[in-house]
Amino acid sequence: MRRVVFAFALLLLICPAVLAEGITMHAVVYPPLVYETNGVAHGMVPEVVRSIQKELGETNPLEITPWLRAYKLAQNRPNQALFAIVRIPERERLFKWVGPIFGENDYFFQKRGAGLTVRTLDDARKTVRIAVRRDGYTHQALKAEGFDNLDPGPSYETSYKKLLEGRVDLVLMGERTYYYMVKKAGLDPDNFERTDCKFAESSAWLAFSRDIPDGTIARWQAALDKLKADGTYDAIMKRNFRH
């Protein structure tokens, strides 16, 4: 029996991909980081992830999964990964992290012509409603800052539509990604305008369930660092951010 256990342990040391190949990898649609075409994940994050996999000799696929389902699976089932989510203190102990893979500044946006003066967080707190995606980054981060005027919904798309229809006053959006997200919702980005209130600088990471071995996390981090050092990461960014 000891020989069998030893042989299995030795196999894992020789072939680190054995463990990694068992990971179910969820991609959540968030253009241009992740978007879906005929059930296949495309965009900046899938390109980076597949480049990491190539470096590590892995082949397990990315599965397009709805946000709340992916978020819960990555916390409650073994051998899960969620690509990519914003790393904030409220999530720190829920996952193991590789990154950062992307970063931007987050501002409150209003409907163009609404005429609201929002320069500070207190100004934002005084508005009637701020739309957020339920249990998303904006929901959790604003709640942690004491905002009690939040209007949760199932998706970012519903948040933008609420703002356009005048049902809410503000939506917190990334300065670099809002254009792509609004376009995906079938709306015109020119219908929205950025306020002067910057909420935070956020960074998106690759999140793994807590049972994933530290050695796997270290290999993924080293592979990502190599992509950044050799110019591959920058080339991927340029291909996906054209606006």
57-106 tens-digit pLDDT: 999 999 999 999 999 999 999 999 999 999 999 999 999 999 999 999 99
Task: State how far the Cα of 138 lies from the Cα of 75, in Å rounded to an integer.
Answer: 19
3-state secondary structure of 3: helix
The long-range contacts involving 41-47, CB below 8 angstroms and separated by at least 24 positions, are 43/240, 44/101, 44/102, 44/236, 44/237, 44/239, 44/240, 44/241, 45/83, 45/84, 45/101, 45/102, 45/204, 45/206, 46/83, 47/236, 47/239, 47/240
Contact 77, 209 (CB under 8 A): yes
Is 10 a member of any domain? no
Q: Based on the fold, state whether residues 95 and 122 are members of the same structural domain.
A: no
Is 45 a member of any domain? yes
Contact 77, 26 (CB under 8 A): no
Mean local confidence (pLDDT), 152-158: 93
Name the pairing type of β-strands 80-86 and 24-27.
Answer: parallel
CA distances from 79 to 11, 58, 82, 212 (A): 19, 15, 11, 6
Name the pairing type of β-strands 170-174 and 96-111.
Answer: antiparallel
Q: What is the DSSP letter of 60?
A: P
* Helix (H), strand (E) at residue 200: strand 192-208
Q: Based on the fold, state whether residues 89 and 159 are members of the same structural domain.
A: no
Task: State how far the Cα of 76 lies from the Cα of 118, in Å rounded to an integer.
Answer: 39
CATH number at residue 221: 3.40.190.10
Query: What ranges in the chain are assigned the alpha helix state H?
Result: 2-14, 17-20, 44-56, 67-76, 121-125, 137-144, 156-164, 178-184, 214-229, 232-240
Is 109 a member of any domain? yes
Q: Using the predicted structure, report yes or no on whether residue 10 has a pLDDT greater than 70.
A: no
Mean local confidence (pLDDT), 136-159: 95
Task: State how far the Cα of 134 lies from the Cα of 156, in Å rounded to an integer.
Answer: 9
pTM equals 0.83
Q: Using the predicted structure, report yes or no on whether residue 6 has a pLDDT greater than 60.
A: no
Tokens 């990491």 sit on residue: 52
Q: Based on the fold, state whether residues 24 and 92 are members of the same structural domain.
A: yes
3-state secondary structure of 236: helix
pLDDT (0 to 100) of residue 18: 40
Q: Which domain holds residue 167?
A: 104-202
Q: Based on the fold, state whether residues 211 and 185 are members of the same structural domain.
A: no
Is 76 a member of any domain? yes
Helices then strands (H, E): number in the chain? 10, 10
Q: Based on the fold, state whether residues 172 and 110 are members of the same structural domain.
A: yes
pLDDT (0 to 100) of residue 243: 66
Q: What is the mean pLDDT of the chain?
A: 91
Instruction: Indicate the number of domains in the chain.
Output: 2
Per residue in 220-240, pLDDT (tens digit) is 999 999 999 999 999 999 999
Q: Based on the fold, state whether residues 190 and 109 are members of the same structural domain.
A: yes
Contact 204, 214 (CB under 8 A): no
Q: Based on the fold, state whether residues 85 and 115 are members of the same structural domain.
A: no
Q: Based on the fold, state whether residues 109 and 162 are members of the same structural domain.
A: yes
Q: Based on the fold, state whether residues 224 and 112 are members of the same structural domain.
A: no
Mean local confidence (pLDDT), 117-136: 96
Q: Based on the fold, state whether residues 111 and 184 are members of the same structural domain.
A: yes
Q: Using the predicted structure, report yes or no on whether residue 16 has a pLDDT greater than 80.
A: no
